[in-house]
Amino acid sequence: MDLGLQSRVVLITGGSKGIGLACAKAFLAEGAKVAIASRSKVNLVAAERQLKTGSQELLKVATDLLDPANARRMVAEVEQGLGPIDVLVNSAGAAKRTPPEELTPEAWRAAMDAKFFTYVHSIDAVIKGMASRKRGVIVNIIGSGGKVANPVHIPGGAANAALMLVTAGLANAYAGQGVRVNAVNPGATLTDRLKQGLEAEAKLGGVTPEEALKRATARVPLGRLAEPDEIAAAVAFLASDRASYITGAIVAMDGAATPIVV
């Protein structure tokens, strides 16, 4: 299916690894002009080696989105290099998974900084420009931990829940100005981040990480964990004109592991 994303300018935060990198691949395959952002220059170079083929346009931006000024500079750099941003995909930042007995006020704050504010800073840097042009799409890759509390993911889950409200609220606020805002909530997905989470769960449960992975897989009715490319396919669809009447949606992608009505 042609999603009509040819020549659209797409900024993907956290685009050097995992789901973000898979999103970059998906948008490049659709002919979009893609910018990927990451804190790590090394990771950006590695991602470029995987992504850069032919005449496809790819821009790399090294930045730390904990600082809102950096988010504004990121957007200015992308728009100078590729043009006005049509699509923002937020995939940067992940809260460290911490057993409950190890939680501190600092851990709670770090989780909100890592997941919530990195997304909010990026959104704030693009959404007003999108509104002025009467066109734009934001897709927030959040996580199912905002729906169901995991004992080792409570601060991160709280950040995820807050981002769901941000998604719904901004979708309502900016719909009249031509901006759509949606979210995807992946469940366990085969990325490097999953490994960190499984190590925390293994520690809490007194099992090996391998056993924790086996248990995580067993909890998914589809019988397997998600692949990053599967999440990316949904993100690309939501960013396209094929989804032109979808806004404020929170799309669950957890293999039916959480059978709830939303």
- Strand positions, DSSP E, the chain: 9-13, 33-38, 58-62, 87-90, 136-141, 179-186, 250-253
Q: What is the pLDDT of residue 2?
A: 85
Question: What is the per-residue pLDDT across 7-55, written as a single tens digit (0 to 9) for each?
Answer: 999 999 999 999 999 999 999 999 999 999 999 999 999 999 999 765 5
Q: Residue 84 has what DSSP assignment?
A: S
Q: What is the pLDDT of residue 56?
A: 66
Local confidence band at 84 (pLDDT 50, 70, 90 cut-offs): very high
Q: Residue 30 has what DSSP assignment?
A: T
Question: What is the per-residue pLDDT across 48-72, written as a single tens digit (0 to 9) for each?
Answer: 999 976 556 899 999 999 999 999 9
Whole-number mean pLDDT of the chain? 92
Number of structural domains the chain divides into: 1
> Has residue 260 been placed in a domain?
no
> Has residue 24 been placed in a domain?
yes
Rounded Cα distance between 242 and 240, Å, is: 5
Local confidence band at 245 (pLDDT 50, 70, 90 cut-offs): very high
> Has residue 259 been placed in a domain?
no
Tell me the CA distances in angstroms from 148 to 97, 151, 155, 245, one per residue in order: 14, 10, 12, 28
Q: Residue 231 has what DSSP assignment?
A: H
> Has residue 262 been placed in a domain?
no
Q: Using CA atoms of 239, 243, 248, 249 in order, give the dihedral in degrees to the nearest 10.
A: -100
- Residue 252 pLDDT exceeds 80: yes
> Has residue 230 been placed in a domain?
yes
> Has residue 2 been placed in a domain?
no
What is the layout of strands, in order, in the sheet containing 9-13? Answer: 58-62, 33-38, 9-13, 87-90, 136-141, 179-186, 250-253
Rounded Cα distance between 201 and 83, Å, is: 43
Residue 196 sits in a domain whose CATH number is: 3.40.50.720
Closest CA to 85 of 7, 20, 11, 28: 11
Range of the domain at 96: 9-253
> Has residue 81 been placed in a domain?
yes
> Helix, strand, coil % (nearest 5) of the chain?
50, 15, 35
Question: What is the per-residue pLDDT across 171-194, written as a single tens digit (0 to 9) for each?
Answer: 999 999 999 999 999 988 888 777
> Has residue 3 been placed in a domain?
no
The C-alpha angle 152, 157, 163, rounded to 5 degrees, equals 165
Return the residue matching tokens 């490319």.
229
Q: What is the pLDDT of residue 208?
A: 87
Query: What mean pLDDT comes out for the span 132-152?
Result: 93
